[in-house]
Amino acid sequence: MKIKIFAFLVIFFSCFCMERLACQNQSCPCSNLYDNLNDAENTVYYEGLGCSRTVYCTVGYWTWLTLSWELSDIPTPSDIYEDTFFAFTWNHTDPMGVYAGGPITDLVSLLGMQCDRSTSQWIVTRYPFGYSYFNQNDEKIVIDGYSVEGVRSIVSSTDSRFSCANMCRCSDLMSLVEDSSENILYTFNGNHCSSNFTCNADSQTFIRSSFDGSEIPGIGNRTGAMLIPTIPEEDQPEHSSINIMVELGIYCHEGEWYVTQYPYGVTYMDDTGTKYITGEDWGGKKSKVLGFRCTKWP
């Protein structure tokens, strides 16, 4: 009797396992996700049995999946500028999110992607860090993703793209220091362009840049050098520190370091002396970092 039961169990589990294996080895009806990669050189892509796929990327501010409102069950906002929206892989409210990369993560799992065999289409079902779109005023609108957990969005084989953050292509920021590197309290130049440059905040701590090629609006025909200060013109704080990476929104773009925040405007010299310019709408406008000075901590 025991032999018969054992034989039955062996046959049952053998058939069960063979059926599962046969199912896993079926060819996947969905398209090749590799064709959806914008930055294949920054990605580790792997195809397993059946429709098992992994897309490993460094998650962060610059890693997302582009989707289409037309192909999504998420209600389309009335003020969209175009059909595109972006599923995030990182917390966009993180003040260091612009500069710091997160861990290497499988985006297929993170976004709950699966192949719908009935339609032969890849779908996204999770939006753990929300999504964004641009409205008709060209403003970026960020929406929490928890309210649409489980809602399907089709990954178009032609229009949906993975954008994966790269390893840092910029030079070591220390090479741009124009005085002693000992004046910098703490620095960390990570694999994802993540750095912390904490200096003494005073009139001699600044970024050196140039009007030439700067995106700052309203600078007229000015050319030549400009400085980006770290304190207001009239302020002279004592023994205060500043992380210029955060304060001035410094990040790496296409192999160059740029400033994107100007809390105290910019300064330049003319025949009459030092001039200050400020602008409330400069946030996000790029100015290339040519060098910086960091005064010594007392």
Place of tokens 């990605």: 43
pTM of the model: 0.52
| Per-residue model confidence (pLDDT) at position 268 | 87
Q: Which one is predicted more confidently, 103 or 9?
A: 103
Q: Is the pLDDT of residue 281 over 60?
A: yes
Q: What is the pLDDT of residues 157-194, one digit of tens each?
A: 888 999 887 656 677 778 888 877 777 766 655 445 66
Q: What is the pLDDT of residues 225-248, one digit of tens each?
A: 899 988 886 665 555 788 888 888
Q: Is the pLDDT of residue 290 over 70?
A: yes
Q: Is the pLDDT of residue 68 over 90?
A: yes
| Per-residue model confidence (pLDDT) at position 151 | 96
Q: What is the pLDDT of residues 124-153, one digit of tens each?
A: 999 999 999 999 999 989 999 989 999 999
DSSP one-letter string for 95-152: TTTTT-EEEEEEHHHHTT-EEETTTTEEEE---TT-EEEEBTTS-EEEE-SGGGTT--
Contacts of 1 (CB under 8 A, 6+ apart): none
Neighbours of 271 (CB within 10 A): 4
| Per-residue model confidence (pLDDT) at position 111 | 96
Q: Where are the domains of the chain?
A: 28-163, 173-293
Q: Residue 15 — φ and ψ, nearest 5°?
A: -65, -40
Nearest one of 59, 256, 102 to 169, comparing CA atoms: 256
Element (H, E) at 10: helix 2-24
| Angle at alpha carbon of residue 141, lines to 136 and 144, rounded to 5° | 145
